[in-house]
Structure 1
Amino acid sequence: MIQYVRRRRSRRQYLRKARIGCVAAALVLLAACAQSSSGTNPDPHGTPRAGGTLDILLPGDARGLDPYSASASNVADGSRLAALYDVLVWSDPATGTVRPQMAESLVSDQNTALWTLTLRPGITFSDGAELDAEAVRLAWATHQRPELRSLGMTALGGVKLTVMDKLRLRIELPSPNANFDRMVSRLLNFIPSPKTLATPDAIKASKRAPVGAGPFKIREWVEKSHMTFDRNPNYWQKGRPYLDSVTFRVNPDTPGAARMIDEGKADLTVSTDALLIGDARDRGLSVGDVPLNGGLMIAFNMGRKGADGKIPARPFADPNLRRAVVLSLSASEIDKLFYDGIGSPARGVFDSTSPLASIQLASPENQPAEATRLFMQVTQNGSKPLELTYAVPDSPKARTIAEFFRTRIAELSKGSVKLNLVIEDIPTFINRTSLEGNFDATVFQLWADDPEPALYQFLHSQGGFSNVTGYNNPAVDEALRLARLNADSDRRSDAYKRVQVELNKDLPFFVYQEAVAAYVCDPKITGTQLFNDGLLLFDRIGVRK
């Protein structure tokens, strides 16, 4: 394993060393564990002892624990869902491949328009119902109910599902997609018991009383405080899970999470904050991280559909206003001010180390004189000032950076453009930005271990709720389609470079921090495996022997 001296280094330096070590270790998950206080470097993949509990800190409460209303991202509900439902398949960030879990296989025919999902036999939900092909078909079909406004809906447009036998589901796509398995991993992975989908009332009740086939089942949920899951004695993997229970605690003080773990007040957190990750390493905690596409950004509402289906006029439909805001900001300055210079200033929406993108196609930024000129043009030299709604989740870091943006834009626009901050708890914020589209600009985080399907949905004009900006560029749509068709990395890279060129022209958002997801935990915790964009698998995690 990789040894780290206890001094601050940039996140990319850590990742570079982690990648070298992972190649030497036969592509084990990127798990750059910090040196413990005893001077040893604990193996995050050791076999745990049976029993014990795990306290996990997350920044906000869940909107629901059903797969249709929950946010399956790394710092929201993704790990909660993985504990309750387990997964059909999972994307391994060490190899870039999609691996089976409850599914025995997910394979396509030669032209990738026909896929077959084969389940493992003998899996049951915690209420006794069978996990069979019909259960998966029903779970996926439920994503298509418009009243649920599920993000999974976009994965199933035009898809025909046919139960072939008890364990096999035939999936006919409207067009070839060589990366459909990644779509399943991100959007269709969590399968609830058919009994929770029998009626609209049952679906509604499952938000707070979920039933899955995962390693844990819910015991209690105290709103805005914690939720506790108990071991599922009928879990399909014999002898798993190792833990007796898992408690997820709401902790809005995200910067203090490493300190709390160090002091024994919690065991683990999942974070996308480079400062917190650096603090954890300095404290000798165990850290495992994965670099991702996407990043932390300010996203502009260019005119996306609202909850009523209409497209309202939005100030950021004006490309000059978007460019003015982007040129007001500097990713390097933001990194120095708010991440102590140990983060990774972004150069665009693709990870700078990704083989699928070009680092030469950096997004424009940091041209204050040109920003002022554009602000004056948009506001007619201040005679038509603008007031804009900037939606922000209620966290100390998000509020502080938002205040900086507000001050900088007011300064360079000579007071002609004002950002009005709307700060809300995470479930309300997600509802405003992802579902209602009721904002002009927002802080947004995108995490994608692979561009498929997250970047496709975020950028494609038919991306549904995931396209929070309302971005619509036919050239980008076509490039995304070509990338989706191909498994060949060179062809995918060519397509994504075309996407980069168009994004630099249109500027529907400004990414200022590259994306990373990491677990931070007490060295006594082992069996830690991140998947997708930084979720935890709960069948293997536990307390060290």
Structure 2
Amino acid sequence: MLLPGDARGLDPYSASASNVADGSRLAALYDVLVWSDPSTGTVRPQMAESLVSDAGDTSKWTLTLRPGITFTDGEELNAEAVRVAWSTHLRPELRSLGMTAVRNVKLTVVDKLQLRIELPSPNGNFDRMVSRLLNFIPSPKTLVSLETIAASTRAPVGAGPFKLREWAPKSHMTFDRNPNYWQNGRPYLDSVTFRVNPDTPGAARIIDEGKADVTVSTDALLIGDARKRGLAVGDIPLNGGQMIAFNMSRTPPGVKTPRAFANAELRRAVVLSLSAAEIDKLFYEGIGAPAKGIFDSTSRLASIQLASPENQPAEATRLFMQVTQNGTKPLELTYAVPDSPKARTIAEFFRTRVDELSKGSVKLKLVVEDIASFIKRTSLDGDFDAAVFQLWADDPEPALYQFLHSQAGFSNVTGYNNPTVDEALRLARLNTDTDRRSEAYTRVQVELNKDLPFFVYQEAVAAYVCDPKITGLQLFNDGLLLFDRIGVRK
């Protein structure tokens, strides 16, 4: 399997569980408690037998595990193991993105296989939160201390279909079949190698040449190339998308200088400088999906009438001149970019466009880093003014809450703070009814169009691309793969 970058770690606390980062690696190692099925919008059990709320009270949930599951070190996967794994997200030293999912949550072991979960407030979509933020359970032996947790980043112990054999940094990881996997007869493969592939656009060609078997991609061009080559493709539309995220308040420790993009007029100036349709034509050959905002255009929870503003160059220039006092107070801002050819090329276009329309008064200085360093800079340290950002969500919950709520912690990479949005996100989280959720997310859309904490230029899509002989590929969540069912047709 080809992936664009190496992992920061293979523990659930430092790794990035997104589709083109570490999510599929983690699924192979740990399996999942539950998974969100994009085809139905429902959350389905895997290692969990069930995850259900009390009738009429969505602040109380019960997780029931399947019996007979063990980690590869022989420890048992039981309710206490899940309690310890979830509680570990709260350790401040780890700076885990899952911290907000278990903050102020009471976890009680009822019996060997049942965990009682009491939330600080009702949440009709807590099962989706588990699927996205709390799904990967490591052996309790790896969680005894910060030292054992640190060791597990390179020597993980899970209960999944595969276990780590070797990790050659910046090259590949090889996983071998777990002979004691809980599902008899599975997995079907003897081994899986995850290979770092800097040539992301060339992934379809590499697979077509027989030099790899599968990749997961969010690039419309790569997906289109795969279809032309006759490769197998399975894609899912997602909320989120490719975007520029503006840092409005987050600063590294010890830095107190206000962020330039705290100025709403500067954010609006950059957004109005750009056109999603033009970006699609220039960089996606017109076969992508220019975004109208953060919601998938086909979503039942979005309003297609509420498109985000963009493409007003004259107004952009006026705002740039206003912010920089006719160029007498120029700005030089850092623009963080992951080290991939497409990201760098689009970033250069953005930099040039802003320079032109601001008449040289606003300069974007590109900071290009490998994916692991980029994630640390943006998601953990907040050390940027603007950044390329990608958000993928089969359902808005919990991804949009994590991205936009003022109390979401590290996952709110922009530092966005809007009480109206906070309340709308709370109501959307509370409800499972589509109409009520749509009403709440409409309020979110209206506020985002005013505040412009980001500019989404390409709608989100995730797809697997593979040799036609590969079978059993099942995407879940935002485009991860379930590895227990993958096989090779003979």
Q: What range is the shorter-chain TM-score in?
A: over 0.9
Which residue is equivalent to 1:136? Answer: 82
Equivalent in the alignment of 2:179: 233
Q: Distance between the aligned counterparts of 1:463 and 1:161, measured in 2?
A: 20
Which of 207, 228, 231 is 1:282 aligned to? Answer: 228
Match of 1:204, SS? helix
The equivalent residue for 1:200 is 146
Match of 1:392 in 2: 337
Aligned match of 2:119 in 153, 164, 173? 173
Q: Do the aligned partners of 1:304 and 1:312 also contact (CA within 8 Å) in 2?
A: no
Contact kept, 8 Å, 1:92 with 1:531, in 2: the verdict is yes
Which amino acid is the alignment partner of residue 67 of structure 2? P
Equivalent AA in structure 2 for residue 258 of structure 1: A
Say which of 201, 207, 211 aligns to 1:255. 201
- State the one-letter code of the partner of 1:190: F
Consecutive unaligned residues in structure 2, runs of 5 or more: none
Alignment equivalent of 1:216, drawn from 141, 154, 162: 162
Q: 1:423-475: CA deviations, max 9, x gaps?
A: 00000000000000000000000000001000011000011111000000000
Write out aligned runs for 1:335-484 (5 A): 335-484=280-429
Task: Report the Cα offset of residue 306 of structure 1.
Answer: 3.2
Residue by residue over 1:338-389, the C-alpha shift from the partner in whole angstroms, topping out at 9 and shown as x without a partner, is: 0000000000000000000101000000000000000000000000000000
- Over aligned residues, Cα RMSD in angstroms? 0.7
1:153 is aligned to 2:94: no
Q: Alpha-carbon deviation of 1:312?
A: 4.2
Counterpart selection for 2:11 from 53, 60, 66: 66
- How many Å apart are 1:304 and its aligned residue? 2.0
For 1:199 and 1:408, the matched residues in 2 are separated by 50
1:544 matched residue in structure 2: 489
1: CA distance between counterparts of 2:405 and 2:155? 34
Aligned partner (choices 16, 35, 39) of residue 94 of structure 1: 39
**Which AA in structure 2 matches 1:535?**
L
**1:354/1:311 CA distance change after superposition, 3 Å:** farther
Secondary structure of 2:397's aligned partner: coil
SS at match of 1:136: helix
Contact kept, 8 Å, 1:315 with 1:440, in 2: the verdict is: yes
CA distance in 2: counterparts of 1:544 and 1:538, whole angstroms? 15
Aligned partners of 2:81, 2:210: CA distance in 1, in Å?
Answer: 41
Aligned with 1:103 (options 43, 48, 65) = 48
Contact 1:305 1:470 in 2 (8 A): no
Letter in 1 for 2:4: P
Equivalent pairs, count? 489
Letter in 2 for 1:117: L
Say whether the 8 Å CA contact 1:216–1:230 is kept in structure 2: yes
Percent of pairs with identical residues: 85
In structure 1, list runs of 5 or more residues that go unmatched. 1-55
- Amino acid across the alignment from 1:83: A
Q: How does 1:250-329 map to 2 (within 5 A)?
A: 250-307=196-253, 312-329=257-274
Q: Secondary structure at the match of 1:389?
A: strand
Kept in 1, the 8 Å contact 2:251–2:383? The answer is no
Q: C-alpha displacement at 1:200, in angstroms?
A: 1.4
Residue 189 of structure 1 corresponds to which residue in structure 2? 135
Deviations 1:1-50 (A, max 9, x none): xxxxxxxxxxxxxxxxxxxxxxxxxxxxxxxxxxxxxxxxxxxxxxxxxx
Residue of structure 2 aligned with 1:519, choices 458, 464, 468:
464
**Maintained 8 Å contact 1:103/1:118:** yes
1:112 shift after superposition? 0.2
Paired AA for residue 243 in structure 2: M
Q: CA deviation at 1:231?
A: 0.0
1:330 lines up with 2:246 in the alignment: no
Letter in 1 for 2:487: G
Q: Distance between the aligned counterparts of 1:145 and 1:157, measured in 2?
A: 11
2:322 and 2:331 map into 1 onto residues whose CA distance is 12
| In structure 2, C-alpha distance between the alignment counterparts of 1:311 and 1:301, rounded to whole Å | 14
TM-score, normalising length: structure 1: 0.89
Q: 1:525, 1:456 → 2: CA distance? A: 36
Aligned residue type for 1:410: D
Q: Report the AA paired with residue 285 of structure 1.
A: L
Decide whether the 8 Å contact of 1:303 with 1:311 is kept in 2. Answer: no
Which secondary structure does the structure 1 equivalent of 2:380 belong to? helix
* Equivalent residue runs for 1:73-88 within 5 Å: 73-88=18-33
Match of 1:51 in 2: none
1:306–1:312 Cα contact (<8 Å) kept? no
Deviation at 1:336, TM superposition (A): 0.3
Gap change, CA 1:384 and 1:486, over 3 Å in 2: same
Q: Which amino acid aligns with 1:486?
A: N
For the residue of structure 2 that corresponds to 1:533, the secondary structure is coil
- Are the counterparts in 1 of residues 59 and 120 from structure 2 also a CA contact under 8 Å? yes
CA distance in 2, matches of 1:459, 1:157: 17
